Amino acid sequence: MRLVLLGAPGAGKGTQAKKLIETYGIPQISTGDILRKAVADGTPLGKEAKSYMDKGELVPDSVVIGLVKERIAQDDCKKGYILDGFPRNTAQAEVLDKVLAEMGAPLDTALSVDVEKDVLMKRLTGRRTCRKCQQMYNIYFSLPKKEGVCDKCGGELFQRDDDKEETIKKRLDVYDAQTAPLMEYYKKKGIVKSVMGLGDINEIFSKVCAALGKK
């Protein structure tokens, strides 16, 4: 199954993707994760990407398209994959379609996870991430047992630069202007399925599986 996850930052795409990996046995390709790793490793690509990410802007198409092309050509993507955070605008979607058409392996589904804006703000501004194992918490919805400390590995929790309030506003504006139009793009292709991304993670996942036709 070749799947694109649509939805605003904070809609829970990454969380659902992690669960889909287990169910379908296909990898998640998160351009946000790939870019954050490049930033943490201090690679030239990471250095270029960081300035855009810290401002909540999109990293140039040429950079992310190159990363995704390279990733989907790898062996573990033969059975399919879950694209999370890519494409982010129509230009990226068009290139992706072209590349996949050349490979003879078009997308099956664009799954949209829908969440209201005030909930998104709390999810994003409240998010804290473990420095060591990347486990995520939320100061409004899912506190760790001990403040500032990861339950899983004891690592320090911190707020990502791009989870600060000003950056989040910008990320949501960028989403409305550039990424939301992808709904129409994929609707025209007849491959959109939607679920409400509110409530318990496992309940949302049941709806996701039902939408994808898997029990």
Q: Which residues pair with 118 in a beta bridge?
A: none
Q: Least distance from C-beta 155 to ligand AMP, angstroms? A: 19
Q: Least distance from C-beta 149 to ligand AMP, angstroms? A: 23
Nearer to ligand AMP, 119 or 149 (CB): 119
Q: How many residues bind ligand AMP (CB under 6 A)?
A: 17
111 φ, ψ to 5°?
-100, 120
Write out the two tokens for 20: 């889909």
Q: Does 185 bind ligand AMP (CB under 6 A)?
A: no
Write out the two tokens for 121: 């703000």
32 φ, ψ to 5°?
-60, -45
Show the site string, 103-142: x = touches ligand AMP by CB under 6 A, - = not: ----------------------------------------
Query: If we measure between CA atoms, which residue out of 32, 37, 97 comes closest to residue 69?
Result: 97
CA distance 135 to 160: 12
Rule CB under 6 A: which residues touch ligand AMP? 9, 31-32, 35, 52-53, 56-59, 64, 85-86, 88, 92, 162, 171
